[in-house]
Amino acid sequence: MADRVVRWVDVRYAMTAGFLGVLSVLLGVLASKYDTFPTDTVVNAAVRRLGIGFEPIAYTFNELVVYIAVGVIGIVTAALAARRQWRAVAVVAAVMALRPVLNVPKALVGRPRPSRDFPIRDLVSDSSFPSGHTMTATMVFALLFMFAPRVVPRRAVGAVRVLSVASVVLTGMSRMWASVHWFSDTWGAVIWALAAVFAVLALQSGFGALGERVRGDQGRGAGFEPRG
């Protein structure tokens, strides 16, 4: 029984996903009760002091993050498919399929957004916690970080991974600069998104086992059972 479970579930990833999932729920409960967490006002004020010089970066990650995410995921998926890395393609597809689901608990939290106006401000009405832009960026760039050795030449893996982390950080900073999220909305979003990513990674062994079963079933049944 244990061997069968290990074949379908990666226990290390499952434990990480479970821990992050519990932490996500706890943060969501606290965010539903408190409009801000400690350090939120201090960090937000520090980011806002970046002023107009930060506007080009803020514009990029506030307005274009969805297009960037689609482009990055498209490149990663195409590169994996070209190398016939079908299990990895399944992981990417499953992670991105979970992104809309994370809007459900976001709506349940109901934390109000910061009230201060800034040069770039979305027309928003949903809950502030967690940041949807930061969740999207985290899921996309976590996949790029993880699959970088399969997507780019070895000498470029380090640079791609640094760029991936920087993109998530800059997305969070841009949302704070635009005065649509608190600091805790951004790092809370990273935890929620990583919980989803690790949950899918925990099942990647199952994707492989399922693929083996499908391939093994071809030629059997419906008149294709080999005769002894």
Name every residue whose Cβ is closer than 8 Å to that of residue 186 and which is 6 or more positions away in sequence.
Answer: 130, 131, 134, 171, 172, 173, 175, 176
pLDDT at position 83 over 60: yes
How many domains is the chain built from?
1
pLDDT at position 208 over 60: no
Burial of 103-125, coded b for 16+ CB within 10 Å and e otherwise, reads eebbeebebebbeeeeebeeeee
| DSSP for residue 50 | T
Distances in Å between the Cα of 11 and the Cα atoms of 34, 43, 58 are: 34, 36, 39
Q: Which amino acid, residue 49?
A: R
Query: Global pTM?
Result: 0.82
141 in a structural domain: yes
What the block records as the tokens of 26 is 């706890």
pLDDT at position 223 over 80: no
| Percent of the chain with pLDDT strictly greater than 70 | 82
pLDDT at position 214 over 90: no
- Tokens 């800034």 belong to 118
Work out the average pLDDT over 1-7.
Answer: 49
pLDDT tens readout for residues 120-129: 555 566 788 9
175 in a structural domain: yes
Q: What is the pLDDT of residue 106?
A: 83
pLDDT tens readout for residues 118-161: 555 555 667 889 999 999 999 999 999 999 999 999 999 999 99
Q: Which domain holds residue 23?
A: 12-200
Contact indicator for 112, 128 with CB cutoff of 8 Å:
yes
Residue whose C-alpha is closest to residue 136's, from 198, 90, 73: 73
198 compared with 223, residue with greater pLDDT: 198
Q: What is the pLDDT of residue 120?
A: 54
4 in a structural domain: no
Residue 163, domain CATH: 1.20.144
Distances in Å between the Cα of 187 and the Cα atoms of 74, 101, 163, 191 are: 26, 19, 18, 7
